């Protein structure tokens, strides 16, 4: 039993966030406290995987999309496990403490991630373990690497850029993701309540609203079985373009160098005059009618911006069009441009 879900007012989440509280009775206040850095979010439904052994970083480097060999202790990054055709399968939040690489995954993904990694060990000196039963995750809006006496923490690199990469969206200094400093504390489950202490708890609704406002993609929520990183502007923090071969690299390079993403992520301001918001997955059509041009992926109520959403739409959709999700109108803000060839500054090269 999750002790934080038994707190007064806690309401269990739905979908991928079932098992932790979506709110504790006052979602608006919780979001304000979270944005101010005063609250903490129970993310103990996230998976935790460890990799140990002297070959761990070079091995992970060879399998996934980010440059991981030589990763310094307590330095955070993220990487993707892609299919052979470059589709996003798993997103890994990665931090190494000098002897163990700690990975947190989307809820329910840890067994599949650990199983796939374990199948790829061959003769290398690595050990993989799903330690989700022993460790939980807490989220908080603090951008600081954890010190040697603090819990191991993953600091979100979004919006980057990280390493030798490419950004379709705005440069970091203009990106709304700069307003969302975020980290995940990895804590023994027996110590979750002590780690929260006397700080107020915020639910996942609050955390998701800040994520959506930051244009931050989430695997399994903003992705489907066809999603490639370019469509979500995810190269900027999760994909290194000058590293060696890894599964899915051919698609990453081909789309970046020769083609355009078939779809693109957009940010939407939703009409807030109704009491009910459309659900993720709702089809989008232009006002005035026509065929569906995309679908909602994430929907949230922001404490300042009101109802907001992320959506995947057809690449050539006119960015000036107002869209409809059911009866709710939605105004677009471009994240990945329609031409998808307007690159931004690369990050520093990784030796």
Q: What is the pLDDT of residues 180-228, one digit of tens each?
A: 999 999 999 999 999 999 999 999 999 999 999 999 999 999 999 999 9
CA distance 144 to 266: 29
The tokens describing 52, both together, are 């140990």
Say yes or no: 32 and 172 in one domain. yes
pLDDT range class, residue 340, cuts 50, 70, 90: low
Say yes or no: 121 and 15 in one domain. yes
Cβ-Cβ contacts under 8 Å for 289 (sequence gap 6 or more)? none
Kindly list the strands in the beta sheet with 100-105, ordered across the sheet, starting from the edge strand earlier in the chain: 76-82, 88-96, 100-105, 47-52, 127-130
Domain-located, residue 302: yes
Last residue of a domain, one of 205, 228, 255: 255
Say yes or no: 280 and 307 in one domain. yes
Say yes or no: 223 and 324 in one domain. no
Q: Considering Cα of 265, then 212, then 95, then 171, what sign does the dihedral take? A: positive
Domain-located, residue 141: yes
The tokens describing 221, both together, are 């929520």
CATH of the domain at 315: 2.40.30.110
Q: What total number of domains does the chain contain?
A: 2
Nearest to 177 by CA among 87, 310, 278: 310
Say yes or no: 94 and 177 in one domain. yes
* Cβ contact 10:22 at 8 Å: no
Task: Provide, rounded to the nearest whole percent, the portion of the chain with pLDDT above 70.
Answer: 95
What is the pTM (predicted TM-score) of this model?
A: 0.95
Q: Considering Cα of 213, then 217, then 218, then 221, what sign does the dihedral take? A: positive
Say yes or no: 208 and 292 in one domain. no
Domain-located, residue 342: no
CA distance 111 to 23: 27
Say yes or no: 238 and 306 in one domain. no
* Cβ contact 299:307 at 8 Å: yes
Question: What number is the average pLDDT over the span 48-55?
Answer: 98
Domain-located, residue 344: no
Say yes or no: 231 and 330 in one domain. no
Say yes or no: 225 and 288 in one domain. no
pLDDT of 143 reads 52
Which residue do the tokens 């089809």 mark?
283
Say yes or no: 158 and 250 in one domain. yes
Domain-located, residue 41: yes
Say yes or no: 209 and 188 in one domain. yes
Q: CB burial class (10 A; 0-12, 13-18, 19+) of residue 74? A: middle
Q: What is the mean pLDDT of the chain?
A: 94
Domain-located, residue 67: yes
pLDDT of 275 reads 83
Q: What is the pLDDT of residues 114-124, one digit of tens each?
A: 999 999 998 89
* Cβ contact 309:331 at 8 Å: no
Question: What number is the average pLDDT over the span 157-180?
Answer: 96
* Cβ contact 235:256 at 8 Å: yes
Q: Considering Cα of 217, then 226, then 278, then 26, what sign does the dihedral take? A: negative
pLDDT range class, residue 147, cuts 50, 70, 90: low
Which residue do the tokens 């931050």 mark?
216
Last residue of a domain, one of 203, 226, 255: 255
Last residue of a domain, one of 216, 238, 255: 255
Provide the phi-psi class of 37: left if phi over 0, else alpha when psi is between -120 and 50, else beta.
left
Q: Which domain holds residue 270?
A: 261-334
Q: What is the pLDDT of residues 286-318, one digit of tens each?
A: 998 899 999 999 999 999 999 999 999 999 999
- Alpha helix stretches (DSSP H) within 88-184: 110-119
Say yes or no: 161 and 279 in one domain. no
CA distances from 248 to 82, 133, 179, 228, 251 (A): 5, 31, 32, 10, 6
């Amino acid at each position: 039993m999750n002790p934080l879900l038994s707190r007064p007012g806690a309401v269990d989440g739905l979908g991928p966030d079932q098992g932790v509280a979506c709110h504790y009775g006052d979602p608006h206040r919780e979001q304000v406290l979270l944005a101010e850095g005063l609250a903490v979010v129970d993310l103990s439904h996230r998976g935790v995987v460890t990799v140990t052994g002297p070959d761990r970083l070079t091995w992970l480097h060879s399998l996934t999309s980010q440059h991981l060999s030589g990763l310094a202790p307590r330095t955070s990054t993220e990487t993707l496990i892609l299919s052979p055709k470059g589709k996003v399968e798993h997103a890994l939040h990665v931090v190494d403490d000098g002897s163990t690489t700690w990975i947190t995954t989307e809820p329910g993904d840890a067994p599949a991630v650990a199983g796939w990694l374990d199948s790829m060990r061959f003769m290398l000196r690595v050990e993989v373990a799903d330690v989700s039963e022993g460790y939980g995750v807490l989220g908080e809006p603090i951008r600081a690497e954890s010190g040697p006496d603090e819990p191991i923490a993953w600091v979100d690199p979004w919006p980057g850029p990280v390493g030798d990469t490419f950004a379709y969206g705005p440069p970091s200094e203009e990106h709304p993701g700069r307003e969302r400093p975020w980290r995940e504390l990895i804590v023994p489950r027996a110590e979750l309540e002590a780690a929260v202490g006397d700080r107020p708890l915020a639910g996942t609704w609050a955390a998701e609203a800040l994520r959506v406002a930051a244009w931050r993609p989430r695997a399994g929520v903003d992705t489907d079985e066809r999603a490639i990183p370019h469509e979500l502007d995810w190269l900027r923090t999760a994909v290194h373009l000058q590293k060696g071969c890894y599964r899915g690299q051919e698609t990453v390079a081909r789309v970046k160098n020769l083609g355009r993403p078939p779809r693109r992520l957009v940010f939407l301001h939703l009409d807030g005059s109704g009491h009910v918001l459309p659900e993720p997955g709702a089809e989008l059509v232009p006002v005035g009618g026509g065929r569906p041009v995309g679908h909602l992926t994430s929907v949230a109520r922001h404490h300042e911006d009101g109802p907001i959403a992320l959506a995947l739409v057809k690449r050539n959709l006119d960015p000036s069009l107002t869209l409809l999700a059911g009866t709710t109108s939605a105004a677009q803000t471009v994240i990945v441009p329609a031409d998808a060839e307007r690159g931004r500054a690369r990050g520093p090269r990784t030796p």
